[in-house]
Amino acid sequence: MKYLLMFWDDDAADTQAQNEDGFLAEIRTWVDGMNDQGIRLSGGPLRAAGDGKLLRVRDGEMLVSDGPFAETKEQIGGYDVIECPDLAAALEVAAAHPLARVCTVEIRPIDLLPWEPSAE
């Protein structure tokens, strides 16, 4: 099953550790290891929520709003898509990610669309 890991970063938190070369090297090691094992399918950091847009189409009209989008101090700062046999394995993979020490990690199963072939 595929899972989406979303890394919620508190804008008010001290992010010094995230910018240190050693911490970035830890992330690189995790990414390379998960890629080599075929667990990590894709992922990466996201730019600030204020750089994004929110889109709605209502009555054929495109409505675009500026960010930030949520009334919270936490914003999604990055993501990874992983493939694991079950949620317990996905939790172990997420817990091993260096960002789990400084961010909140949301783990969500990804559903297949009805016309997609089963991954099993």
Q: How many domains does the chain have?
A: 1
The more confidently predicted of residues 109 and 72 is 109
The Cα 110–Cα 23 span in angstroms is 28
The answer to whether residue 116 sits within a structural domain is no
CATH (domain of 93): 3.30.70.1060
Contacts of 38 (CB under 8 A, 6+ apart): 83
pLDDT 10s digits, 39-51? 999 999 998 888 8
The answer to whether residue 53 sits within a structural domain is yes
The answer to whether residue 71 sits within a structural domain is yes
The answer to whether residue 114 sits within a structural domain is no
Predicted pLDDT of residue 119: 47
Strand 74-83 with 40-45, pairing: antiparallel
Q: Are 45 and 23 spatial neighbours (Cβ–Cβ below 8 Å)?
A: no
pLDDT 10s digits, 83-98? 999 999 999 999 999 9
Predicted pLDDT of residue 21: 73
The more confidently predicted of residues 38 and 71 is 38
The Cα 84–Cα 59 span in angstroms is 41
What is this structure's pTM? 0.82
**Residue 90, Ramachandran bin (φ over 0: left; ψ between -120 and 50: alpha; else beta):** alpha
pLDDT of 11 > 80? The answer is no
Q: Are 38 and 82 spatial neighbours (Cβ–Cβ below 8 Å)?
A: no
pLDDT of 9 > 80? The answer is yes
The answer to whether residue 57 sits within a structural domain is yes
Question: What is the extent of the structural domain holding 56?
Answer: 2-109
Structure confidence at residue 69 as a pLDDT band (50, 70, 90): low
The answer to whether residue 117 sits within a structural domain is no
